[in-house]
Amino acid sequence: MKPNIVVSLAFMIIFHCFGTYASAATILVIESYHKEYPWDMSYMEGLQAALGNNHTIKRFEMDTKRLPKNRYQEKADQAMEAFMAIKPDLVVLGDDNALSYLGAKIDKTGTPIVFLGINSHPRDIGIDKLRNATGVLERPLFHRSISELRRIMREKLSKVLILFDSGNTSSTAVKEAFGGKMNASIEGVGVDILQVVTEAEWKKAISESKDAGYDAIIVGLYQTLVDADGNNVDAASILNWTSINSPTPSFAFWDFSVGKNKAIGGLVLFGRTQGEDAAKLISTILNGTPPRNIVPVIGEKGRYLFSKSELARWKLTLPPDIEKKAEWLE
């Protein structure tokens, strides 16, 4: 073998080894919620699938869907302790609470931050002040969803109830989408938004929806609802109860609410794509681009997702153009 070829091969081997070593990173994902929460499960799948096995991924759960607000700071302090102990090469902050409580503190350390699932306006949550952060903004498709729902209901839709819990994410989503107003009109459809604290309030609103003149319900977020004793109520049981007991068809804004004995479906957001989009930003940063040079992106524009059994139960059929693009469960 010629000397110049040997040198070239040696250089390629050294470059490959050092390149692989340099690209490998320890990534700490600080979740606002918990690992069993379907949204977290979905975006983690997207992150891990897109990043592959090149990196070590560690997780910390703030659990703010199930804990009372007076414990959020305690969990944030624990998350910061985990960050200091792990000393990650990059931090992912999942959703508004993690970014709100930890963004500025971690930013000061110089560690790169990639956020995802952020419903807040960047200025309101301080993104514009961060020097080492970029990420993915989440924008639920409230207006477009209702417009499409009108077509699915064959325009027999004059009034819709959107139900949310009282969590921070719900309040932020309502503020960003509707300017904090609890009533709106979208393409001639009257929209009322109701935020409730307890399971009893949720069930009452559902049970009385038809008598109140609503033609459909859109299930927003329901994971922070509490029972009469102030204990967090199992989210899956709320969704199942709503499906079985609602006197009007129920639709959804997020993929995890759709399925048999859940919501019918709609134009929804997927957590997985938030994770995939965040992974692209992570790769760009680990390849040498400073986060401050990367403009935050708005996540996927939504996809049609429907439950075949729930559509059949309500004797609904989709317009041909929606049916052609829809993804199906069951």
Nearest to 223 by CA among 31, 92, 38, 30: 38
| Residue 244: pLDDT over 60 | yes
Mean pLDDT along residues 142-159: 90
Local confidence band at 239 (pLDDT 50, 70, 90 cut-offs): very high
Burial of 293 (0-12, 13-18, 19+ CB in 10 A): exposed
CATH 3.40.50.2300 fits 3-138+271-299, yes or no: yes
CA distance linking residue 113 with residue 27, whole number of Å: 10
Domain ranges of the chain: 3-138+271-299, 142-268+304-329
pLDDT tens per residue, range 157-184: 999 999 999 999 999 988 888 888 899 9
Q: Which of 8-17, 18-27, 202-211, 292-301 shows the highest mean pLDDT?
A: 202-211
Strands 303-307 and 265-268: antiparallel
Q: What pTM, to 2 d.p., does this model score?
A: 0.88
CA distance linking residue 277 with residue 103, whole number of Å: 19
pLDDT at position 140: 83
pLDDT at position 209: 98
CA distance linking residue 142 with residue 134, whole number of Å: 25
Burial of 241 (0-12, 13-18, 19+ CB in 10 A): middle
pLDDT at position 11: 38
Please state the φ and ψ torsions of residue 266, each to the nearest 5 degrees: 145, -165
Nearest to 251 by CA among 104, 184, 139, 151: 151
CATH number of the structural domain 142-268+304-329: 3.40.50.2300
Tell how far CA 255 is from the center of its chain.
9
| Residue 300: pLDDT over 90 | no
Structure tokens at 39: 């949204």
**One fold for 3-138+271-299 and 142-268+304-329:** yes
CA distance linking residue 61 with residue 30, whole number of Å: 6
pLDDT tens per residue, range 1-60: 444 444 344 434 333 433 333 468 999 999 999 999 999 999 999 999 999 998 999 999
